[in-house]
Amino acid sequence: MNIQREAQRLFRTDVKKSIKLYEYLLENSDGQELQKYEIGMVKLKLLNSENIEAIDLMFQLEQELLAIKNPDLHNQFHQLESEVFYYFGFKKVSDSIHKLSDSDSKKENKNNTNYLFNIPAELKVNPSSEKVSSRMIDAEPIERKLNQNIGLFTKAKYLAQLRQYYGSKNNQLQYMLYDKQLLDLQGLHLHQLKISRNYLVSKFSKLKQQRIEKVQNRIKKWSFGLSIIFIGMIGLVLYYPKNDKETIKKKSQVISDKAELRILEKLKDFENSEKFLDDSITITILAKHLDTNVKYLSTVLNNQKQKSFNLYINELRIQYITERLKNDKKFRSYKISYLATVCGFTSHSSFTSFFKSIVGITASAYINKLNQEDDL
């Protein structure tokens, strides 16, 4: 069975099952394949009225795609982003994002296997008011479908059909029943939409400000770096007549052995404290905690552990969760997304990628392996 096709087939009739199938695809994929499934997951989350989770996933995905050079994937994401902003009522933002896609890709996106559906077209709670003949629908199976795992929008469509059906039959009692349910559903949707719009604006503004600050910091560092180089060159010309090898050695030494040992000891305490599980930790925060600076900490990690800060922290997190899975069987029954959160990852896909690169297999495969070993 093609899991992706099955998930796409079910999204209108059983959105929760469709989401579960996509979760399976996410857990068993990595790299750019993973990002393709995340695009589909954003849409399914919206279809299931999980707006906040969908918005968070969309912005996480945007950060992941910054490091990837794949025009097709970027175009698929721009299409998604454009549809999301349009759905939440930000048409000008949607139009500006839509222009980022290649003209050919705009036509191809709807035909690719990952497309799923158009968000504004699918996510409606005000279905068309066209008259429906009583012969065109059978009320009984539609009423049964209302109790299935359908999304809010499919439910609205069914309620509208039933309301029109009973109206055409002059059954006022049933007509009023489904009319009230549809109005309640529309009220709930408007309330969710308002909260989600505010959250989207807040998230978008915060990300925009972070980007501005990042650019400003780069400009400051670049300007400061040029000043230091310029002053250093003047200093070399004026004050470097002697070939003092000992002085050269001292100047080139970034950190003393004593300071390096002190940082290593503090890193050992940090590793035992499990503070690396804090998802907000950065190299700046850790350097402050160790009573040193970012430059010294980065040097020690590179020289002594042969790791970047990002790899160092994430290896500790993966080591922590693998130990918990080995020693605490109840952890094996938790969702992969929960395991990712427990050990400090904010992105499901980042956890999946790091777990597979460090352990050699996916988290799901690792759990299965542990269970099989216990059965022996």
- Please state the domain count of the chain: 2
pLDDT of 252 higher than 50:
no
pLDDT per position as a tens digit, 104-115 = 444 444 445 556
Query: Is there a contact between 113 and 218 (Cβ–Cβ < 8 Å)?
Result: no
Which residues, other chains included, contact 170 with Cβ-Cβ below 8 Å and sequence gap of 6+?
A: none
Q: Rounded distance, CA 353 to CA 33, Å? A: 11
Q: Which among 122, 155, 188 is the end of a domain?
A: 122
Task: Classify residue 148 by its DSSP letter.
Answer: S
- Extract the tokens encoding 306: 């042969």
Give the span between the Cα atoms of 250 and 258, in whole angstroms.
14
- Check residue 245 and give its pLDDT: 43
Select from 72, 107, 122 the last residue of a domain: 122
pLDDT digits (tens, 9 = 90+) for 72-96: 888 888 899 999 999 998 998 888 8
pLDDT digits (tens, 9 = 90+) for 260-315: 999 999 999 999 988 999 988 999 899 999 999 988 998 999 888 888 888 899 99
Q: Is residue 187 part of a domain?
A: no
pLDDT computed for residue 331 by the predictor: 92
CA 356 to CA 370: how far, in whole Å?
15
The reply to whether 165 falls in a domain is: no
Let me know if residue 189 belongs to a domain: no
The boundaries of the domain holding residue 75 are: 3-122
What are the residues whose beta carbons fall under 8 Å from the beta carbon of 336, sequence distance 6 or more?
23, 26, 27, 348, 351, 352, 363, 364
**For the chain, what's the residue count?**
376
Residue 265 within a domain: yes
Residue in the structure block whose two tokens are 């002085």: 247
Burial class (CB in 10 A: 0-12, 13-18, 19+), 248: exposed
For 278, list phi and psi in degrees, rounded to 5.
Answer: -70, 120
Residue 172 within any structural domain of the chain:
no
Q: Are residues 28 and 362 in contact, defined by beta-carbon separation less than 8 angstroms?
A: yes
d(CA 275, CA 91) in angstroms, rounded, equals 43
Q: Of the given ranges (102-116, 209-223, 361-375), which has the lowest mean pLDDT?
A: 102-116
Name the residue among 317, 367, 364, 310 with its Cα closest to residue 343: 317
pLDDT band at 246 (very low <50, low <70, confident <90, very high): very low
Helix (H) or strand (E) holding 124: none
Percentage, residues of the chain above pLDDT 70: 81
Q: Give the CATH number for residue 267.
A: 1.10.10.60
Instruction: Report which of 190, 193, 181, 173 is spatially closest to residue 155, judged by C-alpha positions.
Output: 181
How confident is the model over 154-205, as pLDDT tens digits?
Answer: 888 889 889 988 988 899 999 999 999 999 988 888 888 888 888 888 888 8
* C-alpha dist (Å) from residue 42 to 48, 117, 118, 204, 351: 10, 11, 12, 16, 18
Question: Which letter does DSSP use for residue 76 in this model?
Answer: H
Choice between 322 and 257, residue whose per-residue pLDDT is larger: 322
In a domain, 128, yes or no: no
C-alpha span between 335 and 294 (Å, rounded): 35
Determine, yes or no, domain membership for 307. yes
pLDDT for 327-340, tens place per residue? 999 999 998 988 99
Secondary structure string (H, E, C) spanning 139-192: HHHHHHHCCCCCCHHHHHHHHHHHHHHHHHCCCHHHHHHHHHHHHHHHHHHHHH
Looking at residues 9-30, what average pLDDT do you find?
84
Position 195 in a domain: no
The torsion angles phi and psi of 29, rounded to 5 degrees, stand at: -135, 160
Q: Is residue 217 predicted with pLDDT exceeding 90? A: no
Of 101, 122, 143, the one marking the end of a domain is 122
